[in-house]
């Protein structure tokens, strides 16, 4: 077996067999083939795709590159959730405590932001003392005691994926549906949950820009999960507009706590409850309503215990940026567009995100949103507030907002759909 023959086969549109896939993943994980060779193979897969059998075998090879976690000792059904990433997507923060408060165990292995999408670990690190790195024993103890844990994956969990994702990120091959599917599912299957619910985003702020692309990705993910014995369902959700009223690390934590306290933006609450109901159904818990644990304080109790178990202080004040800049509404009428991608780039430029994995983020940086599509607005009223410790980034961030906002005169009645409540969950894929 050699790398060149595998590259040529996929370059020419051939289907790789199981032995070729197992060998290439193992060889790459152990540094036996060059980065440029794996780059070439990734691009060939990006251009020519993979069959369902290839994608499933590729996933299995990445799982086999490391260890698998075991939560069989837990007395609760274990269910996990994964989001494909978006702008203002703080859903994991309230969701894990909500589902745990209803009786399931939620081992949420999360990641960091890169580019315009935010990272759950970055957000939680805004909490004083909170630790993302836990040993397997600490993770199991926290799950046993609280029902939920949100932490970083260990380096021995699907190490092939960690290495390959970093390569794909710098070679323009991230958006390959087979490679995305294998990347997500290798970690989730190795994690050892009993069932999985996926939040597959569609829209300008997502990797999948159209519903049809998101549907194809969701179908691929669900198929892999079931092929590996993990019951998997997916919700396709809208990411054309930022979720909630905040984008940025501490800003989003503050908003998530508002949801746990029984308040918060309607779209964040709606998606949290939709995903919670799907997770509880997958876990076989049919006699609990997740809305109840938001109103009676049970989810907040789980949140506080979970944060404390990971070294955090749930009562400590969250960081705030040193400088703010208000962005006024450009015209009077109906706000018809607030593009998630451009808002995400704006937040990233303010310091909330990173362009390289080693970059540091500003915990207080980000964007506060004062109006959403469908709202009546008046010229000059605050539309956004930009937060940053480095005010010299404001002009750079403002440039990212060009084309992000559209206001139509009320008399024109631009689109009836704009005046209806925004639909967050677009489809279910089972």
User: Quick one: pLDDT at residue 27?
Assistant: 97
Instruction: Please check whether residues 266 and 413 belong to one and the same domain.
Output: no
CATH of the domain at 42: 1.20.970.10
Question: What are all long-range contacts of 137-143, with beta carbons under 8 Å and residues at least 24 apart?
Answer: 139/107, 140/71, 140/73, 140/74, 141/309, 142/306, 142/309, 142/310, 143/71, 143/74, 143/105, 143/106, 143/107
Is 83 annotated in the active site?
no
- Is 89 annotated in the active site? no
275 and 352 fall within a common domain: no
Q: What is the pLDDT of residue 357?
A: 65
Do 239 and 369 lie in a common domain? no
Q: Of 183, 186, 204, 388, which residue is the catalytic one?
A: 183
* Chain segment 347-384, per-residue pLDDT in tens: 999 999 887 667 789 999 999 999 999 999 999 999 99
Would you say residue 58 lies in a domain?
no
Residue 67 lies in a domain: no
Among the listed residues 116, 162, 168, 188, the single catalytic one is 168
pLDDT at 415: 55
Same domain for 263 and 335, yes or no, is no
Contacts of 112 (CB under 8 A, 6+ apart): 119, 121, 122, 354, 357
Percent with pLDDT over 90 in the chain: 86
Instruction: State which residues form the domain around 111.
Output: 79-155+164-316
Render pLDDT for 393-410 as a digit per residue (tens, 0 to 9): 999 999 999 999 999 987
The answer to whether 364 touches 320, Cβ cutoff 8 Å, is: yes
Residue 252 pLDDT > 90: yes
Domain annotation covers residue 55: no
Total domain count for the chain?
3
- Percent of the chain topping pLDDT 70: 97
What burial letters (b/e) apply to 300-312, b meaning 16+ CB within 10 Å? bbbbbbbbbbbeb
Is 71 among the domain residues? no
3-state secondary structure of 246: strand
417 pLDDT above the threshold of 80? no
Same domain, residue pair 148 and 260: yes
Active site residue 347: no
The whole-number average pLDDT for the span 179-186 is 94
Q: Is residue 217 part of a domain?
A: yes
Q: Are residues 348 and 279 in the same domain?
A: no
Residues 336 and 389 in one domain: yes
CATH (domain of 263): 3.40.1030.10
CATH number assigned to the domain comprising residue 378: 3.90.1170.30
Flag whether 37 is in a domain. Answer: yes
> 80, 89, 122, 161: which one is catalytic?
161
- Note whether 279 and 216 are same-domain residues: yes
185-230 pLDDT per residue, tens: 999 999 989 999 999 999 999 989 999 999 999 999 999 999 999 9
> At residue 266, does pLDDT exceed 60?
yes
Residue 192 lies in a domain: yes
Residue after which a domain boundary falls, among 285, 316, 347 = 316
Q: Does residue 54 lie in a domain region?
A: no
pLDDT band at 61 (very low <50, low <70, confident <90, very high): very high
Of 187, 188, 277, 349, which is the active-site residue?
187
Residues 306 and 327 in one domain: no
- For residues 169 and 192, state if they share a domain: yes
């Amino acid at each position: 077996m050699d790398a060149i023959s595998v590259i040529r086969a996929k370059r020419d549109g051939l289907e790789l067999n199981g032995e070729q896939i197992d060998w290439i993943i193992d060889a790459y994980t152990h540094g036996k083939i060059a980065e440029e060779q794996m780059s070439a193979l990734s691009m060939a897969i990006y251009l020519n795709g993979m069959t369902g059998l290839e994608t499933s075998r590729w996933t299995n090879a990445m799982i086999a590159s490391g260890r698998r976690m075991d939560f069989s000792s837990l007395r609760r059904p274990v269910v996990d959730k994964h989001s494909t990433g978006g702008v203002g997507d703080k859903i994991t923060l309230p969701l894990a405590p909500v589902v745990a408060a209803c009786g399931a165990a939620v081992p949420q292995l999360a990641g960091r932001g890169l580019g315009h999408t935010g990272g759950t670990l970055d957000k939680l690190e805004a909490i004083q003392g909170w630790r993302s790195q836990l040993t397997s024993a600490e993770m199991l103890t926290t799950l046993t005691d609280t029902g939920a844990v949100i932490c970083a994956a260990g380096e021995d969990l699907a190490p092939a994926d960690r290495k390959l994702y970093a390569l794909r990120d710098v070679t323009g091959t991230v958006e390959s549906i087979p490679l995305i599917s294998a990347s997500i599912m290798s970690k989730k299957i190795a994690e050892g949950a009993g069932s999985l619910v996926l939040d597959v985003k569609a829209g300008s702020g997502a990797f999948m820009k159209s519903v049809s692309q998101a549907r194809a990705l969701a179908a691929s993910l669900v198929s892999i999960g079931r092929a590996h014995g993990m019951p998997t369902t997916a919700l396709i959700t809208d990411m054309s507009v930022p979720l909630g009223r905040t984008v940025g690390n501490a800003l989003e934590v503050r908003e998530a706590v508002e949801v746990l306290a029984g308040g918060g933006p309607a779209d964040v609450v709606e998606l949290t409850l939709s995903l919670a109901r799907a997770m509880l159904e997958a876990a076989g818990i049919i006699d609990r309503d997740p809305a109840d644990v938001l109103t009676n304080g049970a989810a907040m109790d789980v949140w506080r215990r979970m944060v404390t178990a990971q070294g955090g202080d749930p009562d400590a004040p969250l960081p705030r940026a040193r400088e703010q800049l208000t962005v006024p509404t450009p015209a009077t009428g109906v706000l018809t567009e607030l593009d998630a991608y451009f808002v995400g780039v704006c937040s990233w430029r303010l310091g909330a995100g990173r362009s390289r994995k080693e970059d540091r983020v500003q915990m207080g940086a980000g964007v506060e949103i004062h109006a959403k599509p469908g709202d009546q607005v008046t010229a000059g009223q605050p539309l956004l507030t930009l937060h940053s410790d480095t005010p010299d980034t404001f002009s750079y961030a403002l440039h990212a907002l060009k084309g992000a906002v559209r206001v139509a005169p009320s008399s024109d009645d631009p689109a009836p759909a704009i005046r209806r409540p925004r639909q967050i969950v677009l489809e279910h894929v089972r």
